[in-house]
Amino acid sequence: MFEIIKESGRARRGRMKLKHGVVETPIFMPVGTVASVKTLTSADLDDVGASIILGNTYHLFLRPGMEVIEHFGGLHNFMNWKKPILTDSGGYQIFSLAKLRKLTSEGVSFRSHIDGSKFELTPEKSTWIQETIGSDIHMVLDECTPYPCSVEEARKSMQLSMDWGVRCRKAKKKPDLMQFGIGQGGVYESLRKEHISFLIDQDFEGLAIGGLSVGEPKTAMREMTDLSCQYLPREKPRYLMGVGTPGDLLESVAMGVDMFDCVMPTRNARNGTLFSWNGRINIKTSIHKFMNDPIDEKCPCYTCKNHSRAYLRHLFMAKEPTIMRLLTLHNLTFYLELMSSIRKEIEQGTFDAFYKRFQPIFEK
């Protein structure tokens, strides 16, 4: 169930009640592709304030495999995570592993990127896998439309996603789990509008904006996000898949998006790039060599409370494995604190001022 608590312009403060708990929106979902957010434990995720995490159908199907997940009664028990989980259907992996797959109207056959074994994934199988995983929210199987592509190619891809979405909806068996449709259409407004209209008729519990952040210019991504939010129904949660920077999140919330996921905070942390209320920080640079300051004085994370930039830079330059966890703790804490602040600003009716203050900082 989803309810809107407060609106400020087009920004929405909402609440989702899912099988494994309540999720306050707007929300950022840390990416735990193979049942683990890299370098962190489930207890760490609790500490940084995560209320829902993301897993991936394709990767979990290959490893550990459905026999293992069934044995443990679902992914929550297997990884000891008590809060909600959203799973991607595998559609993005179909897109990113194009050289290893064959696409037909029935589904996709692909070779494992791990050992080359051949598998098939259909809308029905993707739905079964995700319901077996026990995902509080699972996504329909779709084809992530590539960029660039012609309007004819985008339409053909969209039609395939439409057909697969209908089959996923019919295959859904568990009423206590939510299923989201995914809107495609590339960078073409008429196709985006057509697909969203089609998805509304299928009465999914929520709707996602897919096929963005795949190489298109940022201006195009934001334009498609903006117009999609104008067509999406007000009463259902809106999920922008695979996006993005703090600036992207703030901009998209202003357009009416409720949910986000992205590997950016965790991947950037492992590469030494940190996010803060004052903008990005490269911990590798020599300017931090003697700095006793934390990454961000406003940040409540373990890393900022206990360690200086100088120490963190030393660990990174020494390639000490501990640094990966410390920097990941900070970046995810920042992302989740950002979303918490956004929720408070919407509630208080001050989101517009907050947006004007921080958007220029985050866009640098």
- For the annotated catalytic residues, the residue numbers are 88, 261
H/E segment holding residue 278: none
Contacts of 115 (CB under 8 A, 6+ apart): none
Q: Which residues pair with 245 in a beta bridge?
A: none
Pairing of strands 137-139, 118-121: unpaired
How far CA 130 is from CA of 124, 172, 180, 334, in Å, comes to: 10, 10, 12, 30
Q: Give the integer Cα–Cα distance in Å for 345 and 44.
A: 26
Apex 121 CA angle, 266 and 68, nearest 5? 65
Q: Which of 113, 133, 107, 132 is nearest to 55 (CA)?
A: 133
Phi and psi for 275 in degrees, rounded to 5?
A: -110, 145
| Ordered strands of the 206-209 beta sheet | 27-29, 259-261, 238-240, 206-209, 178-183, 137-139, 85-88, 53-56
Q: Which of 231, 174, 167 is nearest to 202 (CA)?
A: 167
Q: Are 309 and 247 in contact (CB under 8 A)?
A: no
